Amino acid sequence: MKQPNRVKAARRAGRKAYGYNLSFPSPWVIDILGKLDFDFVFIDGEHGPFGLDQLEDLCRTAERHNLTTIARVPDIGSSTILRYLDRGIMGILGPHIATEADARQLVRACYFGPLGERSFGANRGTDYNAGIADKAAYYREANEQMLVSGSRQDNAGNHKSHPTGRAHDATGRDAGGVGQRHAARCGSSYFIIVAGWPKLPP
């Protein structure tokens, strides 16, 4: 199993998680900043020029420094998200989540069953299927470590009016938000979507 998700661990511990944004593919930046004990690196796969082989190198470098990798994906298509997860990404930010159907699709793509429909492949994102004796237990742990969030990017919306603006995790606790940009300034807000939220599939 991959290392624990430090962003989720920070939330459970009641502290802030600290990280930085990477908008271009450079494992050297991660290597240098790895000395500063950040919790995560945020990879902008929607706007940045990231190839799949580069993503894998970034994940490998981040893991050496116990960093959690979170990526904004180009779109919320299942095949797109799966390719990011299969490289080793542990958190997904889905762009342009405008409807409940979008939120449902995002969850389906990110989680293994029964929470979602993520498929299992023998690659580095799933430990190359090495030493996994109990697949059901592996899926549960992988789901527990997965951070799923979405962004609404328009000129009129705001965090509170969005259908997924309030979320709950599988234990019913308030999941809160991962940060919000003022809609009047740049038209974007971020929020967490966690499987187990009452309006999402069980």
| Residues catalogued as catalytic | 47
Q: Compute the distance between CA of residue 167 and CA of residue 177 in angstroms, rounded to an integer.
A: 8
> Which residues does residue 153 pair with via DSSP β-bridges, in sequence order?
188
- Residue 56 phi/psi, 5-degree rounding, is -65, -40
Token pair in block for residue 51: 């190839």
Q: Compute the distance between CA of residue 127 and CA of residue 106 in angstroms, rounded to an integer.
A: 23
158-184 core/surface letters (b: 16 or more CB in 10 A; e: else): ebeebebbbbbbeeeeebeebebeebe
